[in-house]
Amino acid sequence: MSGMEHQEVDLSKPQNQDLIWDLDSMARRELAERFIQLFENRLCVYSESVGQLYTNYNLHFPSALGRKMVVLPNPYAFHDTLHGIDAVAIRKTGLCVLPGLVLGKPGLLLTTEIKQGGPGPKTMPFKQALAQIISNQKKIGDDFLPIMMKGDLREFDQQMPYIHLHRLQVQKLSRLSAFERSDIQQSITRKLLLLYRQADSLSC
């Protein structure tokens, strides 16, 4: 257990609202909390208001804030906060990650955009789908770098939590040097590899 888990959220200081996620609309909030924790430090979190990407953080659910989740970047690892990430380089993927328990299985599933009130989503095992997407993107000279941001933790039919994925397109970070863009790409890819390797065993 790291010391970070005991880090207090100081509510007297102005908070970055991008890092305070409202879980009030979640019917199955405890399940949503367990699910999002599977991605802690495995998917990077983006804050548009400050143009930063956090690769090293903890998720907190402070009772003082009610039904909210706070993303707390590790204050001792400032190298793990990536700066100069313009919103123009962030785009929606239309892809969502679901817990395998949708099908009564462990692990994670990937699906295309989930429509509320629509038919149940068609799913693929996460590892298989991710490998296919990465391969397809490589063929067109692009990297698939998924991230998440406020609003990406959602719920299907008030039953099942899921995460919508955004992605970072590093080539659109025109203010950064080639070295900086490469560094950012490698940071996200390292996290993604970790998620990929563990995807079949993650369960909420």
Residues 61-87 have pLDDT tens digits of 998 878 899 999 998 888 899 999 999
As given in the structure block, the two tokens for residue 201 are 């065993």
Determine the longest span between alpha carbons in the chain, in angstroms.
50
**Long-range pairs for 169-176: beta carbons < 8 A, 24 or more residues apart:** 169/89, 169/90, 169/91, 169/142, 169/145, 170/89, 170/143, 170/145, 171/142, 172/86, 172/88, 172/89, 173/84, 173/85, 173/86, 173/89, 175/84, 175/86, 176/84
Please state the pTM of the whole predicted model.
Answer: 0.89
Residue 31 has pLDDT above 60, yes or no: yes
Indicate the SS3 state at residue 142.
coil
115-137 residue pLDDT tens: 766 666 678 999 999 999 999 99
The listed range with the strongest mean pLDDT (1-15, 107-121, 141-155) is 141-155
Q: How far apart are CA 12 and CA 79, in angstroms?
A: 26
Where along the chain do its domains lie?
A: 3-81, 84-198
